[in-house]
């Protein structure tokens, strides 16, 4: 489990295990890690821990948050990173052998600031190509839909037809007993997706095939949907206000998603649903 070592002026004050999905740091006593110093804002920063990965986000503090001496807004924490808030330092330790790259976290963002499209080479006249879908126009407030997933999935073993026995094989073992049927596999998480309901990208669907899928608009509101053995959970990651689920604020803890839950984040409405 990841942990922090809190110190000031070289003196270790305490060790904190990152057992919660959202750990807050600040001067006010309701924070999970209270740092009673005037240089620290009342609600200074938050650390979001998903599986083995942790991210720190500065909550618009007055004096800012530093990681390894550099000011950050949001940062993917690596083993031995040093967080500075005021005169206090928190050293991050995570002895998990493999951590996800920060790029993997951002790659699944489906609503993000639009970027300039790369020039596309014209296809050769002799080559027949299927028509490309038109790019999604920017949504409200500069949000756009990023098609980072495909609908193609590897063929499962159950979809591969069994080999047809040859005549010689049938003669070789005419009295062989039929093979015992394999035990049924443990039930896996049902396949699920989200569909955008409002804005210019309305109608677009994203399959939730990765362990982490982030949704929202950087700098405004971001949440992460986590695929777990017991279902799909959504957690607030970035922004001063929480996304809503069926009209109710998400809050600071993860919430399990149910079929046809309505999510509203960064001004965009979308629906979570299980696939048949």
With respect to residue 179, please indicate whether it lies within any of the assigned structural domains: no
pLDDT in tens, 156-192: 444 444 555 554 444 444 444 445 444 444 456 789 9
Domain extent for 267:
140-151+189-274
Same-domain check for residues 147 and 237: yes
**CA neighbor of 71 nearest in space, from 227, 100, 3, 63:** 63
Could you tell me how far CA 259 lies from the centroid of its own chain?
19
Same-domain check for residues 193 and 259: yes
**CA neighbor of 216 nearest in space, from 157, 149, 139:** 139
What pLDDT is attached to residue 207?
A: 92
CA dist., res. 29 & res. 168, Å (int): 80
Say what percent of the chain tops pLDDT 90: 37
Give the containing element (helix H, strand E) for 84: strand 82-85
pLDDT in tens, 254-270: 899 999 999 999 899 99
What pLDDT is attached to residue 214?
A: 83
CA dist., res. 223 & res. 217, Å (int): 9
Q: What angle do CA 17, 241, 55 make, to 5 degrees?
A: 30
pLDDT for 141 beyond 50 = no
Same-domain check for residues 145 and 236: yes
| Residue bearing the bigger pLDDT, 100 or 147 | 100
Give the containing element (helix H, strand E) for 102: helix 102-107
pLDDT in tens, 5-20: 999 988 999 999 998 8
What pLDDT is attached to residue 97?
A: 56
With respect to residue 170, please indicate whether it lies within any of the assigned structural domains: no
What pLDDT is attached to residue 170?
A: 45
With respect to residue 126, please indicate whether it lies within any of the assigned structural domains: no
**How far lies 256's CA from each of 38, 193, 221, 245, in Å?**
38, 14, 19, 10
Q: In the sheet where 70-72 sits, what is the strand order?
A: 11-17, 3-8, 88-93, 82-85, 65-67, 70-72
With respect to residue 195, please indicate whether it lies within any of the assigned structural domains: yes
- E-only strand ranges, 70-165: 70-72, 74-76, 82-85, 88-93, 111-112, 144-145
- E-only strand ranges, 131-220: 144-145, 192-196, 205-207, 212-217
CA dist., res. 206 & res. 220, Å (int): 21
| Residue bearing the bigger pLDDT, 243 or 142 | 243
Into how many domains does the chain fold?
2
What pLDDT is attached to residue 165?
A: 52
CA dist., res. 8 & res. 224, Å (int): 33
pLDDT in tens, 24-42: 999 999 999 999 899 999 9
CA dist., res. 65 & res. 46, Å (int): 10
With respect to residue 35, please indicate whether it lies within any of the assigned structural domains: yes
CATH, residue 229: 2.60.200.20
Q: How many Cβ atoms are within 10 Å of 84's Cβ, its own excluded?
A: 17
Say what percent of the chain tops pLDDT 70: 66
Residues 55 and 74 sit within 8 Å (Cβ to Cβ):
yes
Q: How many Cβ atoms are within 10 Å of 245's Cβ, its own excluded?
A: 21
Same-domain check for residues 50 and 147: no
Residues 57 and 76 sit within 8 Å (Cβ to Cβ):
no
pLDDT for 95 beyond 60 = yes
Same-domain check for residues 241 and 144: yes
Q: What angle do CA 212, 30, 75 make, to 5 degrees?
A: 35
**How far lies 271's CA from each of 147, 201, 259, 268, 274, in Å?**
17, 13, 9, 10, 10
Same-domain check for residues 147 and 269: yes
Same-domain check for residues 144 and 230: yes
With respect to residue 181, please indicate whether it lies within any of the assigned structural domains: no
């Amino acid at each position: 489990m990841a942990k922090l070592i809190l110190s000031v002026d070289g003196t270790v004050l305490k060790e904190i295990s990152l057992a919660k999905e959202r750990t807050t740091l600040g001067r006010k006593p309701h924070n999970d890690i209270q740092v009673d110093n005037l240089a620290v804002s009342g609600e200074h920063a938050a650390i979001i821990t998903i599986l083995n990965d942790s991210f720190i986000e500065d909550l618009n503090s007055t004096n800012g948050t530093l990681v390894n001496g550099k000011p950050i807004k949001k940062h993917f924490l690596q083993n031995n990173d040093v967080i500075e808030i005021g005169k206090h330092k928190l050293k991050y330790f995570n002895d998990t052998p493999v951590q996800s790259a920060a790029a993997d976290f951002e790659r699944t963002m489906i609503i993000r600031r639009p970027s300039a499209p790369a020039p596309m080479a014209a296809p050769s006249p002799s080559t027949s190509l299927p028509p490309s879908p038109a790019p999604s126009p920017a949504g409200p407030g500069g949000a756009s839909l990023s098609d980072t997933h495909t609908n193609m999935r590897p063929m499962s073993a159950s979809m591969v037809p069994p080999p047809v026995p040859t005549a010689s094989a049938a003669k070789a073992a005419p009295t062989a007993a039929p093979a015992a049927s394999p035990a049924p596999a443990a039930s896996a998480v049902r396949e699920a997706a989200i569909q955008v309901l409002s804005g210019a990208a309305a109608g677009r669907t994203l399959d939730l095939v990765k362990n982490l899928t982030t949704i929202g608009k950087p700098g405004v509101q971001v949440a992460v949907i986590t695929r777990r053995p017991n279902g799909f959970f959504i957690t607030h990651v970035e922004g001063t206000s929480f996304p809503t689920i069926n009209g109710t604020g998400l809050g600071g803890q993860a919430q399990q998603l149910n079929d046809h839950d309505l999510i509203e984040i960064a001004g965009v409405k979308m629906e979570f649903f299980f696939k048949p």
